[in-house]
Structure 1
């Protein structure tokens, strides 16, 4: 009887545990998902930083003597009383070189106002309608706007008072933080608050406008009024106009959980679900590309059994 011959070269070879192809697939999949998750991850880390800053400010204020807080607030009100009611410059003005101009960077007296925090914070802002809690810093230079909300030099300090108008501005569409991204969702009637030292003052949105950068008339002081206007660039990524969200001072709303303090403005950014997605992607790719060693070994065993059987014929 003719003997069947099976060449050993027909036997499948079990793949190595890790091959360059498999490693490349896992890396590409993980990096691809990582790129998609970067904005979410960056915003999460930014929120963590903001919460740390607000918590640090709250601790500093808590340790500050009440008499010192009253002195600083009185000093700020005096500063506002002496502030000229002239026109203001757009906080995102560019110089002839296309660079953001630093507004008020040379005012040493201004920088000393409400300065109790080593981070340079003057207070915090809370906008419940869009779940936004951010630190407020002196000035609107690029370094300041990269880390939070800037107070426009030349506008009133955000401590309230008759015939005052504070201007607070922050980026929209900033790659590393959400900041004022959701300001466009605020509607007339929404309430926001600003906390400076141990004082929290509330404002109800009464006007929303989109204007050109050089149209700053709506940022002027209005006799007898107490305003705060929130400013950001719009449309996001295009930045040809400015979104102005103005609030008028209202009485402190009754809170079921007691008086508002700086500590109340601290919000936990929550669990970083983006980490789970990233790790899950890597793990899933590893599982899907795992070597089929067991199946290959069984295939080899069957081929060997056939060869041995035919050798015995």
Structure 2
């Protein structure tokens, strides 16, 4: 029932009136742009995922380069007589202890590495063992940007850090009647390692640095074999050979790629110069992506619009 008294009604658009109420003439400010934040975050995650392989590879190569620099300094600091003794011992080992009986380095069976310790394994691990990090040599393939430390044996731990020297093959010090076999992983997302070995062709050069000695080998060919086929790793009388072994096809790893090389004289210019480290452009892209994400997420939602 009406009281007859006038009813006070607030005028539309007065201060304090809930924004966006009927008749206010103002659209309510938009809420936090959740879709925009989600889209920006997903885009950032996608960019970071794409940048992971080059970033991880750059880090692995930088770590290996640091270890090799320390190794080279230790070699230079050795007394010349000590270096000569280490090389002589390795050459004697090749002449008297190497049988050439090897197994597939990626088979994870007994005999694939030197860590089932017995007297023969102890003798092997004592060769070229002057580096506290366990580096015995260095393998460089300038044509495919491979530059890795070489460690004793072919354990999984070893092959994650660099190249492994296959136990049972000749130590990589060169000489007639020797055949050194170096192994490495291919296709790892976090490190290139021997991935580019698939691109080697006849005529490409491979260099081995051991103590104060640099050995040059030239690729003569490659073959794909079953894991159990190790005939191509045997010593050949009078020849100085080097073989690089990795799994193939990448990601399947059902066979082995074996790249053969034979000893040649060093090029006229000597050993190749030290490789330069590429600029980490992935880091720049990562910073740009993060800044773009921050600008998108932290930007104001925008001013409300009037009708």
TM score, norm. by length of structure 1: 0.84
* Residue 290 of structure 2: aligned partner: 282
Which range is displaced more, 25-34 or 196-205? 25-34
Is 1:273 aligned with 2:281? yes
- Give the Cα separation in 2 of the matches to 1:15 and 1:65: 76
SS in 1 for 2:161: coil
- State the SS of the aligned residue for 2:195: coil
User: How many residues in Structure 1 have an aligned counterpart in Structure 2?
Assistant: 284
Q: Does 1:104 find its partner at 2:114? A: yes
The residue number in structure 2 matching 1:210 is 224
- Alignment partners' CA distance in 2, 1:247 and 1:72: 25
Q: C-alpha deviations, 1:118-166, integer Å up to 9, x for none?
A: 1100010110110111110010010100100000000000000000000
The residue number in structure 2 matching 1:123 is: 137
* Aligned pairs (5 A) from 1:184-199: 184-199=198-213
Written as runs of structure 1 = structure 2, the 5 A alignment for 1:1-313 is 8-9=19-20, 10-14=25-29, 21-95=35-109, 102-105=112-115, 106=117, 107-255=121-269, 259-260=270-271, 264-265=273-274, 267-288=275-296, 290-293=299-302, 296=303, 299=305
Normalised to the residue count of structure 2, the TM-score between the two structures is 0.85
> 2:291 & 2:28 partners in 1: Cα distance?
25
How far apart are the structure 2 equivalents of 1:5 and 1:84?
98
Partner Cα separation in structure 2 for residue 157 and residue 40 of structure 1: 32
- Measure how far apart 1:270 and its partner are: 2.0
Q: Offset at 1:285?
A: 3.5
CA contact (8 A) 2:224 2:255 kept: yes
Shift of 1:86: 4.1
Q: Which structure's residues are more often helix, by fraction?
A: 1
Q: Distance in 1 between the 2:34 and 2:130 partners? A: 56
The residue matched to 1:182 in structure 2 has which SS?
helix
RMSD of aligned Cα (Å) = 2.3
